Chains A and B, each alone.
Chain A
Amino acid sequence: MFDVLDKSLEYGRSLGPEYIELRAEDILLTTIQFDDGQVKNLNQRIEKGVAIRVLSNGAWGFVSTSDFENLNQYIDRAVALAKSAAASRREPIKLAETKAITDTVKLSVKESPIDLSNEEKVEWMSQVYKQIKDYDERIGAVSLKLRDGWGKKYLVTSSGHKIEFDVGFVHHYAWVTGKEGASITAARDEVGSTSEGWEFLKKTQGAENIGKRVANRVKLQLEAVAAKGGSFPTVLAPHVIGVVAHEALGHLSEADLTVQSSFGGKLGQKVANDFVNMTDDGTLPGGFGTSKYDDEGTPTSRVEIIKDGILTELLTNREYAARMGLRPTGNARAQDYRFMPIIRMRNTFFEKGDWADDELFEGIKFGYLCVDFRGGQAELNASFQVGVQEAYEIVNGEVGRPVKDLSISGIATDTLFKIEGIGKGTFEFEQGRCGKGQEAFISAGGPMIRVSEGGITFGGKK
Chain B
Amino acid sequence: MDHTELLHLLNDLIKYGTSHGANEIDAYAVVSSEISVELEMGEIKSANELIDSGISIRAIIGKKVGTSFTSRFDKQSAYNAVDLAIKSAKSSTENTHWAGLPQSREVSKIEGLWNPKFESVPVERYVEMTSELAKSIIDKDNSIIVGGAGTGVSTQTVAFANSNDIALSGKGGIVYSYAVGVSRTKHGMTPGIFDVDITRDPDAIDLEKISQTVVKDIRLAKNVLQGESGHPDIIIAPRALGILFMFTIFPMLYGENVLRGKSPLKEQVGKKIASDIFNLYDDGINPKGIGTRPFDGEGIPQQKTPLIRDGVLQQFIWTDYWAKQANEESTGNANRDIRTGLISTKMTNPTIEVGDSTLEDMISGIKYGYLVKGFQGAHSSNPESGDFSVVCNPVFLIEDGEVKGSVFGLMMADNVFNILKNTVEIENKHTYDLTIIAPHIKVEGLNIIAKS
User: A residues within 8 Å of B by Cβ?
Assistant: 31, 33, 35-36, 38-49, 59-67, 77-78, 81-82, 84-91, 93, 117-119, 122, 140-141, 177, 179, 182-186, 229-231, 256, 259-262, 264, 338-340, 373-387, 404-407, 409-411, 413, 453-454, 457-461
Contact = CB atoms under 8 A, between A and B. Distances in A.
11 contacts: A39-B93, A40-B65, A85-B47, A118-B88, A229-B447, A378-B376, A380-B182, A380-B190, A387-B389, A405-B389, A407-B389
Nearest to B49: A63
Given A93-B45, A380-B147, A387-B379, 15 more contacts: A39-B64, A43-B69, A45-B339, A60-B45, A89-B44, A122-B92, A184-B264, A186-B382, A380-B189, A380-B191, A386-B377, A409-B376, A457-B452, A459-B411, A459-B412
B189 A264 contact: yes
Interface string B224-235: 000001000000
B189 A41 contact: no
Contact of B377 (A40, A49, A177, A375): A375
Contacts of B339: 45, 47
Nearest to B92: A42
Nearest to A183: B385
B413 A42 contact: no
Contacts of A84: 47, 122-124, 127
Q: Which of B47, B70, B87, B127 has the most CB of A within 10 A?
A: B47
Contact of B66 (A43, A184, A383): A43
B65 A60 contact: no
A383 B414 contact: no
Interface in B345-387: 376-377, 379-385, 387
A40 B48 contact: no
Contacts of A67: 72
Contact of A87 (B72, B81, B127, B377): B127
Contact of B192 (A82, A119, A380): A380
Interface stretch (B35-43, B204-212, B433-441): B35-43
A88 B413 contact: no
Contacts of B91: 42, 117-119, 122
B71 A66 contact: yes
B286 interface: no
A387 B378 CA distance: 9
Interface string B64-94: 1111111110000000010010011101111
A125 B339 CA distance: 21
A78 B48 CA distance: 8
Nearest to A86: B44
Contacts of A183: 385
B92 A39 contact: yes
Given A61-B47, A230-B449, A405 B92 contact: no
A38 B96 CA distance: 8
Contact of A59 (B47, B188, B192): B47
A387 B70 contact: no
B51 A338 contact: yes
Contact of A45 (B46, B69, B188, B264): B69
Given A43-B342, A64-B50, A383-B376, A229 B261 contact: no
A384 B376 CA distance: 8
B52 interface: yes
Contacts of B47: 59-62, 81-82, 84-85
Contacts of B123: 81, 84
Contacts of A231: 451-452
A340 B45 CA distance: 12
B372 to A, nearest CB: 13
A382 B188 contact: yes
Given A85-B127, A457-B452, A374 B380 contact: yes
Nearest to A382: B188
Nearest to B54: A66
A427 B378 CA distance: 28
Contact of A141 (B41, B88, B260): B260
B384 A185 contact: yes
Contact of A460 (B51, B95, B389): B389
Contacts of A42: 65-67, 88-89, 91-92
Interface of B: 37, 40-41, 43-52, 64-72, 81, 84, 87-89, 91-97, 122-124, 127-128, 131, 145, 147, 182, 184-185, 188-192, 229, 260-262, 264, 339-343, 376-377, 379-385, 387, 389-391, 393, 408-409, 411-414, 447, 449, 451-452
Contacts of A385: 376-377, 380, 390-391
Nearest to B384: A184
A443 B381 CA distance: 22
A218 B124 CA distance: 54
Q: Which of A42, A44, A141, A386 has the most CB of B within 10 A?
A: A42
Nearest to B447: A461
Nearest to A65: B51
Nearest to B183: A260
A26 B52 CA distance: 16
- A-B pairs with lowest CB-CB distance, top 8: A387-B380, A459-B389, A60-B46, A385-B377, A375-B380, A118-B91, A81-B47, A45-B69
B54 to A, nearest CB: 8
Contacts of A81: 46-49, 123
A96 B377 CA distance: 36
Q: Which of B191, B229, B380, B452 has the most CB of A within 10 A?
A: B380
Nearest to A92: B43
B22 to A, nearest CB: 14
A252 to B, nearest CB: 10
Nearest to A78: B49
A229 B384 contact: no
Contacts of A230: 229, 449, 452
A42 B414 CA distance: 38
A410 B37 CA distance: 34
B51 to A, nearest CB: 6
Contacts of B97: 38
Contact of A377 (B52, B376, B411): B376
Contacts of A63: 48-49, 51
B312 to A, nearest CB: 20
Q: Which of A385, A460, A461 has the most CB of B within 10 A?
A: A385
A246 B69 CA distance: 33
A87 B376 CA distance: 37
Contacts of A406: 389, 413
Contacts of B383: 186
Contacts of A179: 261
B335 to A, nearest CB: 13
B342 A91 contact: no
A438 to B, nearest CB: 11
B68 A381 contact: no
Contacts of A387: 377, 379-381, 389
A407 B393 CA distance: 14
Contacts of A49: 71
Contact of B449 (A66, A261, A460): A460
A182 B412 CA distance: 23
Contact of A405 (B37, B262, B387): B387
Contacts of B65: 39-42
A85 B130 CA distance: 10
B388 to A, nearest CB: 8
Nearest to A383: B393
B145 A260 contact: yes
A54 to B, nearest CB: 10
A379 B180 CA distance: 12
Contact of B44 (A59, A382, A407): A59
B298 to A, nearest CB: 13
Given A380-B192, A457-B449, A46 B70 contact: yes
B45 A59 contact: yes
B389 A182 contact: no
Given A66-B72, A260-B147, A407 B411 contact: yes
Contacts of A119: 91
Contacts of A379: 191-192, 376, 393
